[in-house]
Structure 1
Amino acid sequence: MGRIVCVHGIGQQATGEELLLRDWRPALLDGLTRADHSGAVSASDVVMAFYGHLFRPAGQRLAVGDPIFTANDVDAGLEEDLLLAWWRETARVDPKVAPPGADTLVRAPGSVQAALRQLSRSRFFGGLALRAMVFDLKQVSRYLQDPNLREVARATVAKLITEDTQVVVAHSLGSVVAYETLAAMPGHQVRALVTLGSPLGIANLIFRRLDPAPRDGLGAWPGSDELAWTNIADHGDVVALEKDLRPRFGTRMVNAVVHNGAHAHAVTAYLTDKLTGRAIADGLHAC
Protein backbone atom coordinates (compact mmCIF):
# COMPACT_ATOMS: atom_id res chain seq x y z
CA MET A 1 0.00 0.00 0.00
CA GLY A 2 1.01 3.64 -0.33
CA ARG A 3 3.41 5.45 1.97
CA ILE A 4 1.21 8.53 1.53
CA VAL A 5 -2.58 8.23 1.78
CA CYS A 6 -4.54 11.18 0.40
CA VAL A 7 -8.12 12.02 1.42
CA HIS A 8 -10.10 14.37 -0.82
CA GLY A 9 -12.70 16.97 0.15
CA ILE A 10 -16.27 17.84 -0.80
CA GLY A 11 -17.67 18.12 -4.30
CA GLN A 12 -15.88 15.08 -5.76
CA GLN A 13 -18.88 12.81 -6.23
CA ALA A 14 -18.47 12.67 -10.02
CA THR A 15 -14.75 11.87 -9.99
CA GLY A 16 -12.74 8.87 -8.78
CA GLU A 17 -9.40 7.75 -7.41
CA GLU A 18 -7.42 7.95 -10.63
CA LEU A 19 -8.90 11.26 -11.76
CA LEU A 20 -8.06 12.86 -8.43
CA LEU A 21 -4.57 11.40 -8.32
CA ARG A 22 -3.90 12.90 -11.75
CA ASP A 23 -3.90 16.31 -9.99
CA TRP A 24 -2.82 15.36 -6.48
CA ARG A 25 0.30 13.33 -7.31
CA PRO A 26 2.22 15.89 -9.40
CA ALA A 27 1.23 18.74 -7.09
CA LEU A 28 2.41 16.77 -4.05
CA LEU A 29 5.69 15.90 -5.76
CA ASP A 30 6.17 19.57 -6.68
CA GLY A 31 5.67 20.53 -3.04
CA LEU A 32 8.36 18.06 -2.02
CA THR A 33 10.66 19.60 -4.63
CA ARG A 34 10.00 23.10 -3.22
CA ALA A 35 11.02 21.69 0.17
CA ASP A 36 14.24 20.26 -1.32
CA HIS A 37 13.03 16.70 -1.04
CA SER A 38 12.66 15.75 -4.69
CA GLY A 39 12.95 12.03 -5.26
CA ALA A 40 11.70 11.28 -1.75
CA VAL A 41 8.69 9.40 -3.14
CA SER A 42 7.57 7.90 -6.41
CA ALA A 43 4.11 8.11 -7.95
CA SER A 44 3.29 4.59 -6.73
CA ASP A 45 3.84 5.70 -3.13
CA VAL A 46 0.80 8.01 -3.29
CA VAL A 47 -2.71 6.54 -3.07
CA MET A 48 -6.17 8.08 -2.80
CA ALA A 49 -8.90 7.12 -0.34
CA PHE A 50 -12.03 7.87 -2.36
CA TYR A 51 -15.41 8.24 -0.70
CA GLY A 52 -17.05 10.75 -3.05
CA HIS A 53 -19.27 8.10 -4.62
CA LEU A 54 -21.20 7.90 -1.34
CA PHE A 55 -22.74 11.29 -2.15
CA ARG A 56 -23.51 10.57 -5.81
CA PRO A 57 -27.23 10.12 -6.48
CA ALA A 58 -28.15 6.88 -8.23
CA GLY A 59 -28.67 7.37 -11.95
CA GLN A 60 -32.22 7.43 -13.19
CA ARG A 61 -33.81 7.95 -16.57
CA LEU A 62 -34.23 11.68 -17.20
CA ALA A 63 -32.64 12.45 -13.83
CA VAL A 64 -28.91 11.86 -14.19
CA GLY A 65 -26.42 13.88 -12.16
CA ASP A 66 -26.68 16.00 -9.05
CA PRO A 67 -30.14 16.93 -7.77
CA ILE A 68 -31.47 20.30 -8.92
CA PHE A 69 -31.21 21.98 -5.53
CA THR A 70 -32.47 25.50 -4.82
CA ALA A 71 -32.32 27.82 -1.81
CA ASN A 72 -35.47 26.16 -0.50
CA ASP A 73 -33.54 22.90 -0.08
CA VAL A 74 -31.15 24.31 2.52
CA ASP A 75 -32.29 22.71 5.77
CA ALA A 76 -32.58 24.65 9.00
CA GLY A 77 -29.93 23.89 11.58
CA LEU A 78 -26.48 22.73 10.49
CA GLU A 79 -26.84 23.55 6.78
CA GLU A 80 -28.23 27.03 7.31
CA ASP A 81 -25.75 27.80 10.08
CA LEU A 82 -22.80 26.69 7.96
CA LEU A 83 -24.03 28.72 5.00
CA LEU A 84 -24.24 31.86 7.14
CA ALA A 85 -20.79 31.15 8.58
CA TRP A 86 -19.41 30.92 5.04
CA TRP A 87 -21.11 34.22 4.21
CA ARG A 88 -19.64 36.03 7.22
CA GLU A 89 -16.13 34.78 6.47
CA THR A 90 -16.42 35.49 2.74
CA ALA A 91 -17.51 39.07 3.46
CA ARG A 92 -14.51 39.46 5.76
CA VAL A 93 -11.97 38.47 3.09
CA ASP A 94 -13.71 39.66 -0.10
CA PRO A 95 -14.74 43.33 -0.47
CA LYS A 96 -17.17 42.41 -3.26
CA VAL A 97 -19.39 40.61 -0.80
CA ALA A 98 -21.73 42.56 1.48
CA PRO A 99 -21.77 41.25 5.05
CA PRO A 100 -24.92 39.84 6.58
CA GLY A 101 -26.94 42.28 8.63
CA ALA A 102 -28.21 41.80 12.15
CA ASP A 103 -31.62 40.71 10.89
CA THR A 104 -30.02 37.98 8.76
CA LEU A 105 -28.13 36.55 11.70
CA VAL A 106 -31.42 35.86 13.47
CA ARG A 107 -32.66 33.88 10.46
CA ALA A 108 -34.88 36.47 8.83
CA PRO A 109 -36.98 35.21 5.91
CA GLY A 110 -34.90 35.23 2.75
CA SER A 111 -31.57 34.99 4.58
CA VAL A 112 -30.64 31.77 2.77
CA GLN A 113 -31.38 33.32 -0.61
CA ALA A 114 -29.39 36.41 0.37
CA ALA A 115 -26.43 34.31 1.49
CA LEU A 116 -26.35 32.30 -1.73
CA ARG A 117 -26.70 35.46 -3.81
CA GLN A 118 -23.79 37.14 -2.05
CA LEU A 119 -21.60 34.03 -2.17
CA SER A 120 -22.15 33.75 -5.93
CA ARG A 121 -20.50 37.18 -6.28
CA SER A 122 -17.36 36.19 -4.41
CA ARG A 123 -14.06 35.14 -5.90
CA PHE A 124 -14.15 32.07 -3.66
CA PHE A 125 -17.54 30.70 -4.73
CA GLY A 126 -17.86 32.57 -8.02
CA GLY A 127 -18.55 30.23 -10.92
CA LEU A 128 -20.01 27.57 -8.64
CA ALA A 129 -23.62 26.93 -9.50
CA LEU A 130 -26.20 27.51 -6.78
CA ARG A 131 -27.20 23.85 -6.79
CA ALA A 132 -23.53 22.89 -6.34
CA MET A 133 -23.18 25.16 -3.30
CA VAL A 134 -26.26 23.62 -1.73
CA PHE A 135 -25.03 20.12 -2.61
CA ASP A 136 -21.71 20.85 -0.88
CA LEU A 137 -23.57 21.98 2.23
CA LYS A 138 -25.53 18.76 2.20
CA GLN A 139 -22.38 16.65 1.89
CA VAL A 140 -21.04 18.16 5.11
CA SER A 141 -24.33 17.72 6.95
CA ARG A 142 -24.82 14.16 5.67
CA TYR A 143 -21.36 13.10 6.78
CA LEU A 144 -21.89 14.53 10.26
CA GLN A 145 -25.47 13.32 10.68
CA ASP A 146 -25.67 10.02 8.77
CA PRO A 147 -23.94 7.34 10.89
CA ASN A 148 -23.93 4.73 8.11
CA LEU A 149 -22.35 7.04 5.53
CA ARG A 150 -19.84 8.23 8.12
CA GLU A 151 -18.85 4.67 8.93
CA VAL A 152 -18.37 3.71 5.28
CA ALA A 153 -16.35 6.85 4.50
CA ARG A 154 -14.03 6.20 7.43
CA ALA A 155 -13.68 2.53 6.47
CA THR A 156 -12.59 3.62 2.98
CA VAL A 157 -9.70 5.55 4.53
CA ALA A 158 -8.88 2.92 7.13
CA LYS A 159 -8.44 0.11 4.64
CA LEU A 160 -5.62 2.03 2.91
CA ILE A 161 -3.74 2.76 6.13
CA THR A 162 -1.29 -0.10 6.62
CA GLU A 163 2.03 -0.58 8.36
CA ASP A 164 3.62 0.99 5.27
CA THR A 165 1.66 4.24 5.60
CA GLN A 166 3.78 7.07 6.95
CA VAL A 167 1.79 10.19 6.01
CA VAL A 168 -1.90 11.04 5.62
CA VAL A 169 -2.69 14.19 3.64
CA ALA A 170 -6.30 15.37 3.85
CA HIS A 171 -8.16 18.30 2.31
CA SER A 172 -11.36 20.10 3.35
CA LEU A 173 -14.06 17.68 4.57
CA GLY A 174 -11.51 14.93 4.01
CA SER A 175 -9.57 16.29 6.99
CA VAL A 176 -12.57 15.48 9.19
CA VAL A 177 -12.81 11.96 7.74
CA ALA A 178 -9.07 11.38 8.11
CA TYR A 179 -8.94 12.76 11.65
CA GLU A 180 -11.81 10.59 12.85
CA THR A 181 -10.38 7.54 11.10
CA LEU A 182 -6.96 7.89 12.72
CA ALA A 183 -8.47 8.66 16.12
CA ALA A 184 -10.39 5.36 15.90
CA MET A 185 -7.28 3.31 14.99
CA PRO A 186 -5.23 2.83 18.17
CA GLY A 187 -1.72 1.66 17.44
CA HIS A 188 -1.55 2.90 13.84
CA GLN A 189 1.95 3.68 12.59
CA VAL A 190 1.22 6.91 10.70
CA ARG A 191 3.98 9.41 11.46
CA ALA A 192 2.41 12.60 10.09
CA LEU A 193 -1.06 14.01 9.48
CA VAL A 194 -1.19 17.01 7.15
CA THR A 195 -4.55 18.81 6.96
CA LEU A 196 -5.22 21.41 4.26
CA GLY A 197 -8.08 23.92 4.23
CA SER A 198 -9.65 22.13 7.18
CA PRO A 199 -13.00 23.00 8.80
CA LEU A 200 -12.13 20.99 11.93
CA GLY A 201 -11.96 24.07 14.13
CA ILE A 202 -15.47 25.40 13.48
CA ALA A 203 -16.68 25.15 17.06
CA ASN A 204 -20.44 24.70 17.04
CA LEU A 205 -20.81 23.28 13.54
CA ILE A 206 -17.98 20.75 13.15
CA PHE A 207 -15.78 20.49 16.24
CA ARG A 208 -18.47 19.59 18.77
CA ARG A 209 -19.86 16.92 16.40
CA LEU A 210 -16.57 15.05 16.03
CA ASP A 211 -16.24 11.37 16.87
CA PRO A 212 -14.62 10.86 19.31
CA ALA A 213 -16.27 13.81 21.00
CA PRO A 214 -14.01 16.52 22.42
CA ARG A 215 -13.47 16.44 26.16
CA ASP A 216 -13.10 19.58 28.26
CA GLY A 217 -12.98 21.63 25.06
CA LEU A 218 -10.08 19.68 23.54
CA GLY A 219 -10.23 17.20 20.68
CA ALA A 220 -8.59 13.78 20.96
CA TRP A 221 -5.08 13.47 19.56
CA PRO A 222 -5.37 11.22 16.47
CA GLY A 223 -2.42 8.95 17.17
CA SER A 224 0.54 8.36 19.44
CA ASP A 225 2.64 11.09 21.00
CA GLU A 226 5.06 10.65 18.09
CA LEU A 227 2.45 11.66 15.49
CA ALA A 228 3.24 15.05 13.95
CA TRP A 229 0.15 17.02 12.90
CA THR A 230 0.52 20.03 10.60
CA ASN A 231 -2.50 22.13 9.69
CA ILE A 232 -2.20 24.54 6.76
CA ALA A 233 -4.75 27.17 5.73
CA ASP A 234 -4.89 30.06 3.28
CA HIS A 235 -5.76 33.53 4.59
CA GLY A 236 -8.80 33.63 2.32
CA ASP A 237 -9.96 30.04 2.64
CA VAL A 238 -13.59 30.34 3.69
CA VAL A 239 -13.94 26.62 4.46
CA ALA A 240 -11.09 26.82 6.97
CA LEU A 241 -12.93 29.33 9.13
CA GLU A 242 -10.58 28.72 12.07
CA LYS A 243 -7.05 28.90 10.70
CA ASP A 244 -5.32 27.92 13.95
CA LEU A 245 -6.42 24.56 15.35
CA ARG A 246 -4.19 24.65 18.43
CA PRO A 247 -6.96 25.98 20.72
CA ARG A 248 -9.02 22.91 19.71
CA PHE A 249 -6.40 20.16 19.62
CA GLY A 250 -3.43 21.33 21.67
CA THR A 251 -0.22 23.25 21.27
CA ARG A 252 1.85 20.33 20.01
CA MET A 253 0.33 20.62 16.55
CA VAL A 254 1.92 22.95 13.99
CA ASN A 255 -0.18 25.53 12.17
CA ALA A 256 0.79 27.55 9.12
CA VAL A 257 -0.90 30.12 6.90
CA VAL A 258 -0.07 30.14 3.18
CA HIS A 259 -1.02 32.23 0.15
CA ASN A 260 -2.83 30.34 -2.61
CA GLY A 261 -3.76 33.37 -4.67
CA ALA A 262 -7.20 33.42 -6.26
CA HIS A 263 -7.71 29.72 -5.58
CA ALA A 264 -7.70 29.84 -1.80
CA HIS A 265 -9.23 26.40 -1.22
CA ALA A 266 -7.70 24.55 -4.19
CA VAL A 267 -5.91 21.41 -3.08
CA THR A 268 -3.22 21.68 -5.77
CA ALA A 269 -2.26 25.15 -4.53
CA TYR A 270 -1.92 23.77 -1.02
CA LEU A 271 0.09 20.75 -2.13
CA THR A 272 2.66 22.73 -4.13
CA ASP A 273 3.53 24.99 -1.19
CA LYS A 274 6.93 24.50 0.40
CA LEU A 275 5.44 24.23 3.90
CA THR A 276 3.21 21.34 2.81
CA GLY A 277 6.10 19.61 1.14
CA ARG A 278 8.23 19.97 4.26
CA ALA A 279 5.51 18.55 6.52
CA ILE A 280 5.12 15.52 4.23
CA ALA A 281 8.88 15.02 3.94
CA ASP A 282 9.32 15.18 7.72
CA GLY A 283 6.76 12.41 8.11
CA LEU A 284 8.51 10.26 5.52
CA HIS A 285 11.85 10.65 7.25
CA ALA A 286 10.66 10.37 10.86
CA CYS A 287 12.42 7.68 12.85
Structure 2
Amino acid sequence: MTIVAVHGIANHQSGRSPDEAAAELSTQWGPKLRRGFTSAGLDDHPLPPLHVAYYAHHTIAAERQAGVPNLNSLGEQEQAIVVAWALSMGSPTLQERQGLATAPLRQLLSWVSQRRGIPLTTVTRLAVRLAGEVRRYLHVPEVRAAAQSVVAELIRRARPQVVLAHSLGSVVAYEALHAHPDLAVDCFVTLGSPLGLPGGVFDHLVPAPLADRGARPAGVGYWVNLADTGDLVAIPHRLGDRFPVDQHADTPMGTLDFHTFGTYLSSPLTAAAIAPFVGQPQIPDRVGKS
Protein backbone atom coordinates (compact mmCIF):
# COMPACT_ATOMS: atom_id res chain seq x y z
CA MET A 1 0.00 0.00 0.00
CA THR A 2 1.16 3.53 -0.74
CA ILE A 3 0.01 7.15 -0.58
CA VAL A 4 0.88 9.77 -3.18
CA ALA A 5 1.03 13.40 -2.08
CA VAL A 6 0.81 16.21 -4.64
CA HIS A 7 2.16 19.50 -3.32
CA GLY A 8 0.79 22.99 -3.87
CA ILE A 9 2.25 26.46 -4.35
CA ALA A 10 5.46 27.71 -2.73
CA ASN A 11 7.16 24.30 -2.55
CA HIS A 12 10.05 24.83 -4.94
CA GLN A 13 13.19 23.26 -3.49
CA SER A 14 16.07 25.38 -4.76
CA GLY A 15 19.33 23.58 -5.41
CA ARG A 16 17.80 20.09 -5.41
CA SER A 17 17.01 17.78 -8.28
CA PRO A 18 13.33 16.79 -8.66
CA ASP A 19 14.04 13.38 -7.10
CA GLU A 20 15.92 14.96 -4.18
CA ALA A 21 13.13 17.51 -3.68
CA ALA A 22 10.46 14.78 -3.67
CA ALA A 23 12.45 12.79 -1.12
CA GLU A 24 12.95 15.85 1.09
CA LEU A 25 9.26 16.72 1.11
CA SER A 26 8.35 13.11 1.82
CA THR A 27 10.72 13.16 4.81
CA GLN A 28 9.07 16.35 6.08
CA TRP A 29 5.46 15.31 5.54
CA GLY A 30 5.44 11.66 6.56
CA PRO A 31 5.78 12.47 10.30
CA LYS A 32 3.06 15.13 10.01
CA LEU A 33 0.63 12.60 8.57
CA ARG A 34 1.51 10.24 11.41
CA ARG A 35 0.78 13.09 13.85
CA GLY A 36 -2.67 13.41 12.30
CA PHE A 37 -3.31 9.72 12.86
CA THR A 38 -2.23 10.11 16.49
CA SER A 39 -4.55 13.10 16.93
CA ALA A 40 -7.40 11.00 15.54
CA GLY A 41 -6.72 8.23 18.07
CA LEU A 42 -5.29 5.96 15.37
CA ASP A 43 -1.79 5.46 16.79
CA ASP A 44 -1.76 1.76 15.95
CA HIS A 45 -3.28 2.12 12.50
CA PRO A 46 -0.90 1.04 9.71
CA LEU A 47 0.40 3.96 7.65
CA PRO A 48 1.95 3.14 4.27
CA PRO A 49 4.86 5.01 2.69
CA LEU A 50 4.23 8.57 1.47
CA HIS A 51 5.54 9.36 -2.02
CA VAL A 52 5.59 12.96 -3.26
CA ALA A 53 4.86 14.01 -6.84
CA TYR A 54 7.18 17.02 -7.22
CA TYR A 55 6.46 19.37 -10.12
CA ALA A 56 7.40 22.81 -8.71
CA HIS A 57 10.48 23.06 -10.95
CA HIS A 58 7.99 23.42 -13.82
CA THR A 59 5.60 25.96 -12.29
CA ILE A 60 8.11 28.30 -10.66
CA ALA A 61 9.28 31.18 -12.83
CA ALA A 62 13.09 31.25 -12.90
CA GLU A 63 13.27 35.00 -12.33
CA ARG A 64 11.16 34.71 -9.16
CA GLN A 65 12.88 31.79 -7.45
CA ALA A 66 14.76 33.94 -4.93
CA GLY A 67 12.99 37.26 -5.24
CA VAL A 68 10.71 39.06 -2.80
CA PRO A 69 7.05 38.83 -3.90
CA ASN A 70 6.32 42.02 -5.83
CA LEU A 71 2.96 43.14 -7.19
CA ASN A 72 4.71 45.22 -9.84
CA SER A 73 6.13 42.03 -11.36
CA LEU A 74 2.71 40.59 -12.22
CA GLY A 75 1.64 40.38 -15.84
CA GLU A 76 -1.91 40.88 -17.11
CA GLN A 77 -2.96 37.23 -16.73
CA GLU A 78 -1.55 37.13 -13.20
CA GLN A 79 -3.31 40.36 -12.27
CA ALA A 80 -6.57 38.90 -13.55
CA ILE A 81 -6.04 35.84 -11.32
CA VAL A 82 -5.43 38.07 -8.28
CA VAL A 83 -8.59 40.08 -9.00
CA ALA A 84 -10.72 36.94 -9.46
CA TRP A 85 -9.25 35.43 -6.29
CA ALA A 86 -9.71 38.55 -4.18
CA LEU A 87 -13.29 39.18 -5.29
CA SER A 88 -14.17 35.59 -4.40
CA MET A 89 -13.27 36.24 -0.76
CA GLY A 90 -16.67 37.64 0.11
CA SER A 91 -19.88 39.13 -1.22
CA PRO A 92 -19.59 42.92 -1.29
CA THR A 93 -22.37 44.99 -2.77
CA LEU A 94 -22.49 45.34 -6.55
CA GLN A 95 -21.17 48.88 -6.28
CA GLU A 96 -18.27 47.77 -4.10
CA ARG A 97 -17.48 44.86 -6.41
CA GLN A 98 -17.47 47.08 -9.50
CA GLY A 99 -15.15 49.51 -7.78
CA LEU A 100 -12.80 46.81 -6.49
CA ALA A 101 -12.60 45.11 -9.87
CA THR A 102 -10.93 48.21 -11.31
CA ALA A 103 -8.99 49.22 -8.19
CA PRO A 104 -5.19 49.02 -7.99
CA LEU A 105 -4.08 45.59 -6.83
CA ARG A 106 -2.62 46.95 -3.60
CA GLN A 107 -5.98 48.49 -2.68
CA LEU A 108 -7.75 45.24 -3.54
CA LEU A 109 -5.37 43.22 -1.37
CA SER A 110 -5.76 45.74 1.45
CA TRP A 111 -9.50 45.01 1.30
CA VAL A 112 -8.78 41.27 1.59
CA SER A 113 -6.37 41.93 4.48
CA GLN A 114 -8.93 43.97 6.42
CA ARG A 115 -11.80 41.60 5.62
CA ARG A 116 -9.89 38.53 6.80
CA GLY A 117 -7.82 40.12 9.56
CA ILE A 118 -4.55 38.91 8.03
CA PRO A 119 -1.47 41.16 7.61
CA LEU A 120 -1.22 42.81 4.20
CA THR A 121 2.32 41.48 3.72
CA THR A 122 1.03 37.91 4.15
CA VAL A 123 -1.84 38.47 1.72
CA THR A 124 0.46 40.08 -0.85
CA ARG A 125 3.05 37.32 -0.64
CA LEU A 126 0.38 34.66 -1.07
CA ALA A 127 -1.29 36.49 -3.97
CA VAL A 128 1.95 36.86 -5.93
CA ARG A 129 2.94 33.23 -5.44
CA LEU A 130 -0.54 31.93 -6.22
CA ALA A 131 -0.94 34.04 -9.34
CA GLY A 132 2.52 33.19 -10.67
CA GLU A 133 2.27 29.42 -10.32
CA VAL A 134 -1.39 29.21 -11.34
CA ARG A 135 -0.72 31.31 -14.43
CA ARG A 136 2.23 29.19 -15.51
CA TYR A 137 0.29 25.97 -14.98
CA LEU A 138 -2.97 27.04 -16.64
CA HIS A 139 -1.62 29.22 -19.44
CA VAL A 140 1.73 27.69 -20.48
CA PRO A 141 0.84 24.41 -22.25
CA GLU A 142 4.24 22.76 -21.86
CA VAL A 143 4.23 23.52 -18.11
CA ARG A 144 0.74 22.05 -17.73
CA ALA A 145 1.69 18.91 -19.61
CA ALA A 146 4.93 18.45 -17.67
CA ALA A 147 3.30 18.90 -14.26
CA GLN A 148 0.52 16.44 -15.12
CA SER A 149 3.07 13.96 -16.42
CA VAL A 150 4.94 14.00 -13.09
CA VAL A 151 1.73 13.22 -11.19
CA ALA A 152 0.44 10.59 -13.62
CA GLU A 153 3.77 8.77 -13.82
CA LEU A 154 4.10 8.52 -10.05
CA ILE A 155 0.52 7.30 -9.64
CA ARG A 156 1.09 4.70 -12.36
CA ARG A 157 4.35 3.56 -10.78
CA ALA A 158 3.34 3.64 -7.10
CA ARG A 159 -0.28 2.46 -7.59
CA PRO A 160 -1.48 4.30 -4.46
CA GLN A 161 -4.73 3.66 -2.65
CA VAL A 162 -4.89 7.35 -1.71
CA VAL A 163 -3.88 10.57 -3.46
CA LEU A 164 -3.57 13.62 -1.19
CA ALA A 165 -3.58 16.74 -3.36
CA HIS A 166 -2.99 20.17 -1.85
CA SER A 167 -3.62 23.67 -3.19
CA LEU A 168 -2.59 23.98 -6.87
CA GLY A 169 -1.65 20.30 -6.63
CA SER A 170 -5.36 19.47 -6.44
CA VAL A 171 -5.81 21.11 -9.85
CA VAL A 172 -2.81 19.27 -11.32
CA ALA A 173 -3.96 15.92 -9.89
CA TYR A 174 -7.58 16.45 -10.96
CA GLU A 175 -6.57 17.15 -14.55
CA ALA A 176 -3.93 14.39 -14.60
CA LEU A 177 -6.49 11.82 -13.44
CA HIS A 178 -8.92 13.01 -16.10
CA ALA A 179 -6.22 12.85 -18.76
CA HIS A 180 -5.33 9.28 -17.76
CA PRO A 181 -8.63 7.50 -17.03
CA ASP A 182 -6.80 4.19 -16.68
CA LEU A 183 -5.32 5.38 -13.38
CA ALA A 184 -7.36 4.02 -10.46
CA VAL A 185 -7.35 5.67 -7.02
CA ASP A 186 -9.52 4.39 -4.17
CA CYS A 187 -9.62 7.77 -2.42
CA PHE A 188 -8.86 11.23 -3.80
CA VAL A 189 -8.44 13.87 -1.08
CA THR A 190 -8.31 17.55 -2.01
CA LEU A 191 -6.87 19.82 0.67
CA GLY A 192 -7.13 23.61 0.59
CA SER A 193 -8.19 23.36 -3.04
CA PRO A 194 -8.86 26.29 -5.43
CA LEU A 195 -10.53 24.03 -8.02
CA GLY A 196 -13.78 25.98 -7.78
CA LEU A 197 -12.23 29.46 -7.98
CA PRO A 198 -14.33 31.32 -10.56
CA GLY A 199 -12.41 33.20 -13.22
CA GLY A 200 -8.99 32.23 -11.94
CA VAL A 201 -9.15 28.39 -12.11
CA PHE A 202 -12.61 26.84 -12.58
CA ASP A 203 -13.23 28.36 -16.01
CA HIS A 204 -9.90 27.08 -17.34
CA LEU A 205 -10.13 23.44 -16.24
CA VAL A 206 -9.67 20.56 -18.67
CA PRO A 207 -12.10 18.97 -19.20
CA ALA A 208 -14.22 22.11 -19.17
CA PRO A 209 -17.06 22.15 -16.63
CA LEU A 210 -20.54 21.46 -18.01
CA ALA A 211 -23.55 23.39 -16.70
CA ASP A 212 -21.26 24.96 -14.08
CA ARG A 213 -20.24 21.54 -12.74
CA GLY A 214 -16.90 19.77 -12.82
CA ALA A 215 -16.73 16.00 -13.35
CA ARG A 216 -15.26 13.22 -11.25
CA PRO A 217 -12.17 11.62 -12.83
CA ALA A 218 -13.12 8.14 -14.09
CA GLY A 219 -10.60 6.30 -11.91
CA VAL A 220 -11.52 7.96 -8.61
CA GLY A 221 -13.53 5.75 -6.30
CA TYR A 222 -14.19 8.20 -3.44
CA TRP A 223 -13.57 11.95 -3.18
CA VAL A 224 -13.04 13.84 0.08
CA ASN A 225 -12.50 17.60 0.29
CA LEU A 226 -11.05 19.22 3.40
CA ALA A 227 -10.68 22.98 3.81
CA ASP A 228 -10.09 25.51 6.53
CA THR A 229 -12.80 28.17 6.27
CA GLY A 230 -10.02 30.73 6.76
CA ASP A 231 -7.82 29.29 4.00
CA LEU A 232 -7.25 32.08 1.48
CA VAL A 233 -6.52 29.61 -1.32
CA ALA A 234 -9.48 27.26 -0.79
CA ILE A 235 -11.97 29.61 -2.44
CA PRO A 236 -14.78 28.56 -2.43
CA HIS A 237 -13.99 25.99 0.23
CA ARG A 238 -17.04 23.76 -0.37
CA LEU A 239 -16.17 21.99 -3.61
CA GLY A 240 -19.36 19.95 -3.36
CA ASP A 241 -21.24 22.92 -4.80
CA ARG A 242 -19.39 22.51 -8.11
CA PHE A 243 -17.94 18.99 -8.08
CA PRO A 244 -19.25 15.50 -7.22
CA VAL A 245 -17.45 15.40 -3.86
CA ASP A 246 -18.53 12.50 -1.62
CA GLN A 247 -17.51 14.16 1.66
CA HIS A 248 -16.57 17.64 2.79
CA ALA A 249 -15.31 18.78 6.16
CA ASP A 250 -14.06 22.06 7.59
CA THR A 251 -10.78 21.70 9.45
CA PRO A 252 -9.92 24.87 11.43
CA MET A 253 -6.18 25.52 11.58
CA GLY A 254 -5.77 29.09 12.86
CA THR A 255 -5.19 32.45 11.19
CA LEU A 256 -1.41 32.26 10.68
CA ASP A 257 -0.95 28.72 9.37
CA PHE A 258 -4.08 28.40 7.29
CA HIS A 259 -2.80 26.80 4.09
CA THR A 260 0.36 24.71 4.50
CA PHE A 261 0.28 21.08 3.40
CA GLY A 262 1.92 20.01 6.65
CA THR A 263 -0.88 21.51 8.70
CA TYR A 264 -3.54 19.74 6.63
CA LEU A 265 -1.63 16.46 6.94
CA SER A 266 -1.50 16.88 10.73
CA SER A 267 -5.27 17.24 10.94
CA PRO A 268 -7.16 14.30 12.47
CA LEU A 269 -9.79 14.81 9.77
CA THR A 270 -7.25 13.90 7.11
CA ALA A 271 -6.37 10.75 9.01
CA ALA A 272 -10.06 9.83 9.46
CA ALA A 273 -10.68 10.36 5.75
CA ILE A 274 -7.93 8.09 4.48
CA ALA A 275 -7.70 5.44 7.22
CA PRO A 276 -10.42 3.19 5.70
CA PHE A 277 -8.40 3.00 2.49
CA VAL A 278 -4.95 2.26 3.89
CA GLY A 279 -5.54 -0.32 6.58
CA GLN A 280 -7.96 -1.62 9.18
CA PRO A 281 -11.51 -0.32 8.74
CA GLN A 282 -12.35 -0.05 12.45
CA ILE A 283 -12.17 3.72 12.80
CA PRO A 284 -14.41 6.61 13.88
CA ASP A 285 -17.27 7.72 11.65
CA ARG A 286 -16.28 9.34 8.40
CA VAL A 287 -15.56 13.03 8.32
CA GLY A 288 -18.88 14.47 7.18
CA LYS A 289 -21.26 14.88 4.29
CA SER A 290 -20.90 16.73 1.07
Q: TM-score normalized by structure 2?
A: 0.80
Checking the alignment, whether the CA contact within 8 Å between 1:57 and 1:66 is kept in structure 2 is no
Alpha-carbon deviation of 1:124? 4.6
Match of 1:11 in 2: 10
Query: Residue type of the partner of 1:71?
Result: L
Aligned residue pair count: 269
Match of 2:73 in 1: 73
Structure 2 unaligned segments of length 5 or more: list them. Answer: 15-20, 282-290
Q: Encode CA deviations 1:62-114: one digit per residue, 9 max, x unaligned.
A: x89435663333233x422332344446678xxxxxxx945642414xx1122
Q: Encode CA deviations 1:134-166: one digit per residue, 9 max, x unaligned.
A: 243111111111111000001111111136310
Query: Residue type of the partner of 2:74?
Result: V
Work out the CA distance in 1 between the residues paired with 2:213 and 2:181. 18
Work out the CA distance in 1 between the residues paired with 2:121 and 2:135. 23
Checking the alignment, whether the CA contact within 8 Å between 2:9 and 2:129 is kept in structure 1 is no
C-alpha RMSD over aligned residues = 3.0
Q: Encode CA deviations 1:32-74: one digit per residue, 9 max, x unaligned.
A: 233343344456x11100011113455xxxx894356633332
Alpha-carbon deviation of 1:127? 5.1
Match of 2:248 in 1: 255
Alpha-carbon deviation of 1:182? 1.2
Match of 1:112 in 2: 105
Match of 1:31 in 2: 36
Moved more, 165-174 or 186-195: 186-195
Checking the alignment, whether the CA contact within 8 Å between 1:13 and 1:54 is kept in structure 2 is no
Matched, 1:242 2:247: no
Moved more, 5-14 or 133-142: 133-142
Query: Residue type of the partner of 1:257?
Result: D
Moved more, 111-120 or 153-162: 111-120
- 1:6 match: secondary structure: strand
Matched, 1:213 2:208: yes
Work out the CA distance in 1 between the residues paired with 2:167 and 2:225. 11
Structure 1 unaligned segments of length 5 or more: list them. Answer: 93-99
Alpha-carbon deviation of 1:269? 1.9
Once the two structures are aligned, what percentage of the paired residues are identical? 35
Query: Residue type of the partner of 1:255?
Result: H
Checking the alignment, whether the CA contact within 8 Å between 1:51 and 1:153 is kept in structure 2 is yes
Checking the alignment, whether the CA contact within 8 Å between 1:167 and 1:194 is kept in structure 2 is yes
- 2:189 match: secondary structure: strand
Checking the alignment, whether the CA contact within 8 Å between 1:31 and 1:273 is kept in structure 2 is yes
Work out the CA distance in 2 between the residues paired with 1:112 and 1:204. 16
Alpha-carbon deviation of 1:198? 0.3
- Go from structure 1 to structure 2 and tell me whether the alpha carbon gap of 1:116 and 1:267 turns closer, same or farther (over 3 Å shift): same
- Aligned pairs for 1:228-239 within 5 A: 228-239=222-233
Match of 2:288 in 1: none
Q: Encode CA deviations 1:161-211: one digit per residue, 9 max, x unaligned.
A: 136310000110011011111122223221001111000111332112111
Match of 1:22 in 2: 27
* Larger helix proportion of the pair: 2
Q: State the 4+ residue runs in structure 1 displaced beyond 6 angstroms.
A: none
Match of 2:285 in 1: none
